[in-house]
Amino acid sequence: ACRACRTVLQRDAVEWMEQLGPEGFPERSCVVTSLPDWSELKKGQKVSLKHYLDWFQKAVQFIFHCCQQGTLVIFLQTDIMTGGQWIDKAALICKEADAAGQILLWHKITFDPDAVEMPRRGASADYSHLLCFIKPRRHGHGRQCDGRSAGSAFDARCSVPDLLPRGRKVYAQGMGTEALSRILRWVVAQTDVQVVIDPFCGRGTVLALANELGVAALGVDVDAACVKAAERLDILKLRAADSMHPVAYYLQRAADGRGKKSKSEMCQMKDTTSTELQIKKTGQFLNSLEASEGF
């Protein structure tokens, strides 16, 4: 794994994207992400469903806004049901995509094979949407064209199956490694991507899988514990684990239940959340790409 090519920032992702300015994400990048669920966003605070949906749509808008023409954007999202209302996240994303001039290349489904024909439980669907968008490049007379070279059409007929087993996850609401690995391999085969960006990286599944393929990765997460986990995640150890989750997951759960962190840890968290420091770190990451990859 290309561990040296992984950078993780502790920031609020929406604020971070807003501060990137008109240039947004770099060229030859690809976005692969999963926006937090309502249950994750409202932990420790009161967040109404309306507030969550407004935040969700705003976050999607910023992701599309930061993408250059020809950049692939891939979302993995799970629908929820609350108060008798089904929240279709794929529909929410497609609405914002249309407004941003993005086109949907493909729509796939990930699931747990063991859940087939089992009664549905909980507030979340037993499957997740995988959606891939692109903002077409235009060359002369408004013609759309995408791909590795000018004039070639981007092949939307993705050979990856429409139904994908999730595979192992770093935590219960994490992203399945098997499905994501197949998608990232397709991205690498179809594009000249040099960096994979996950603005809501959680514990780093996307970043580690990108590194496994020799691609640099940039992640952002607001939670200090997630940032540390994302920096350290070893995808080979995760795959070799006997359980669905790695041992580190269970150790972290036990540690989380032992109470509040010490003052020294809190001070360290405050230091790492410095806006200036994180902006500088972003710049250093992109500069290192330019120097080492001809980016």
Please write the tens of the pLDDT for every residue from 95-113: 999 999 999 999 999 999 9
Q: How far lies 73's CA from each of 20, 49, 84, 203, in Å?
A: 17, 25, 31, 20
- Does the reported pTM lie above 0.75? yes
pLDDT computed for residue 242 by the predictor: 62
The CATH superfamily holding the domain 3-293 is Vaccinia Virus protein VP39 (3.40.50.150)
Domain map (residue ranges) of the chain: 3-293
Spatial CB neighbours of 295, under 8 Å, sequence gap ≥ 6: 26, 27, 28, 194, 195, 286, 289
| Tens of pLDDT, residues 201-221 | 999 999 999 999 999 999 999
Residue 187 burial class via C-beta count within 10 angstroms: exposed 0-12, middle 13-18, buried 19 and up: buried
Whether the predicted pLDDT of 151 surpasses 90: no
Contact present, 196 and 184 (Cβ < 8 Å):
yes
Contact 31, 74 (CB under 8 A): yes
pLDDT at 256: 61
Chain CA centroid to CA 62, Å: 14
